[in-house]
């Protein structure tokens, strides 16, 4: 790093895409950079302002006009540390091998200017091409620190570059800290009844340009599952849209048609990720396809059933020690047995459904990863003192 002064930091991921999970990751990473690294300047690569914690000020670097792109390049070149992630940002699916090429070039320029690069809270892969594997191996080799959020990503680092593995740390998804990073309290929610089942769905095939008929089949099965629950229990339902750009809210409205109108509430996307967290915290069970519905449920000690559509879902479930028998294949599941699992869970004591890894311990692991990042970057040591009040007890 050019100087031992407080660093200028740039962070980027899938930010500004109106995705609750990425909004939460941005808020937590910005908080960690602010408190642990004591950054003197924070730039966020995003076309839209994000909701960040109290006292955190950021400059948003957009991809818009030529003047904006020029400013973005200048500020990036003047940054001391470049933090990539969290999220699933390093893979070669479809056209994203171009992103790996661009990142490799970006790292070269950063090294010329005396800056450092790190990845924080990322899932690595999947990789489908030889070029993708070669590029990612090079990127990891050049990084000064890497924090991955699941075991398969750690194993991929070891397979691609054994030397880089010594600079890699494993911890749960950083968004488990979303309720501890001083976000403003969102609008209040009204209790729709008890017990409350919350569903966070996703049109995965439509999103990835695949056969959207698979999404229609999943929608019908989810509707049938919730309808059975509504007939056999007094449960009320929250249908939560965790994206403002990918059709989540319209999908929720379609699923709501299977349920009595007076027992269902549709919650639209909110740019403050604490809104989704509070909605989940106030529920009794989460049926989640969106990864961060599961992350928030875990952080709030709310039982969940995971719908596995991507490697990051079982990666999270296994890392926190959740019961894998309550994880279903999102592409091929029987709605009626799934409803039976949920009905049984609603009757069980919540403590009996908790994952093996205590939430407090998982949150401390994320804080320790921020500490490791600060130490690696040579940040002022007093940064760690500023977060002691946020460390969970127990």
Q: Count Cβ atoms within 10 A of the Cβ of residue 324 and give its class: 0-12 exposed, 13-18 middle, 19 or more buried.
A: exposed
Assess contact for 285 and 303: CB atoms under 8 A. yes
Q: What is the pLDDT of residue 338?
A: 98
CATH topology of domain 196-353: Rossmann fold (3.40.50)
User: From its phi and psi, is residue 94 left (phi > 0), alpha (psi between -120 and 50) or beta?
Assistant: left
Q: What is the pLDDT of residue 3?
A: 46
The CATH architecture that domain 8-172+361-389 belongs to is 3-Layer(aba) Sandwich (3.40)
Q: What is the pLDDT of residue 337?
A: 98
Whether the bond into 86 is cis, omega within 30 of 0: yes
Q: What is the pLDDT of residue 98?
A: 86
What's the CA gap between 104 and 29, in Å, rounded?
22
Q: What is the pLDDT of residue 71?
A: 79
Assess contact for 170 and 154: CB atoms under 8 A. yes
Number of Cα atoms under 13 Å in the Cβ half of residue 263? 18
What's the CA gap between 109 and 33, in Å, rounded?
22
Q: What is the pLDDT of residue 59?
A: 93
DSSP 387: G
Q: Where are the domains of the chain?
A: 8-172+361-389, 196-353
Three-state SS at 388: helix
Greatest alpha-carbon span in the chain: 65
Average pLDDT for consecutive 10-residue bins of the chain (394 residues)? 73 93 98 93 93 95 70 84 91 78 89 92 92 93 94 94 86 98 92 88 76 89 98 97 93 97 96 98 97 98 97 97 96 97 96 96 97 82 52 58
Per-residue DSSP letters for 198-246?
A: EEE---HHHHTTS-THHHHHHHHHHHHHHHHHHHHS--EEEEE--BSSS
What's the CA gap between 125 and 121, in Å, rounded?
13
Domains 8-172+361-389 and 196-353 share a fold: yes
């Amino acid at each position: 790093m050019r100087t031992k002064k407080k660093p200028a930091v740039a962070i980027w991921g899938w930010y500004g895409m109106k995705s609750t999970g990425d909004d939460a990751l941005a808020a937590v990473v910005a908080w960690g950079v602010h408190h642990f690294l004591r950054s003197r300047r924070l730039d966020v690569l995003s076309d839209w302002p994000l909701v960040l914690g109290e006292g955190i000020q950021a400059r948003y670097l957009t991809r818009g006009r030529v003047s904006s792109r020029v400013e973005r390049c200048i500020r990036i070149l003047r940054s001391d540390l470049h933090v990539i992630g969290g999220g699933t940002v390093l893979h070669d699916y479809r056209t994203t091998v171009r992103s790996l090429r661009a990142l490799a070039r970006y790292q070269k320029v950063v090294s010329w200017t005396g800056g450092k690069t790190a990845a924080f809270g990322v899932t690595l892969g999947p990789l489908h091409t030889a070029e993708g594997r070669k590029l990612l191996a090079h990127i990891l080799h050049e990084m000064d620190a890497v924090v991955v959020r699941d075991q398969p990503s750690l194993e991929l680092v070891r397979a691609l570059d054994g030397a880089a593995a010594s600079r890699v740390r494993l911890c749960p998804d950083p968004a488990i800290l979303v309720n501890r990073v001083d976000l403003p309290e969102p609008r209040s929610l009204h209790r729709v009844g008890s017990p409350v089942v919350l569903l966070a769905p996703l049109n995965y095939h439509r999103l990835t340009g695949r056969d959207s008929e698979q999404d229609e089949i999943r929608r019908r099965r989810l509707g049938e599952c919730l309808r059975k629950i509504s007939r056999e229990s007094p449960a009320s339902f929250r249908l939560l849209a965790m994206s403002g750009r990918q059709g989540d809210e319209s999908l929720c409205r379609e699923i709501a048609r299977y349920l009595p109108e007076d027992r269902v509430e549709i919650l639209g996307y909110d740019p403050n990720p604490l809104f989704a967290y509070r909605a989940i915290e106030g529920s009794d069970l989460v049926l989640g396809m969106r990864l961060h519905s599961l992350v928030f449920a875990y952080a709030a000690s709310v039982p969940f059933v995971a719908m596995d559509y991507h490697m990051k879902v079982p990666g999270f479930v296994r890392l926190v020690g959740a019961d894998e028998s309550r994880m279903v294949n999102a592409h091929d599941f029987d709605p009626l047995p799934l409803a039976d699992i949920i009905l049984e869970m609603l009757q069980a004591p919540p403590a009996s459904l908790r994952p093996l890894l205590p939430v407090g311990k998982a949150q401390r692991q994320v804080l320790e990863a921020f500490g490791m990042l600060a130490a690696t970057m040579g940040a002022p040591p007093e940064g760690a003192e500023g977060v002691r009040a946020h460390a969970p007890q127990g």
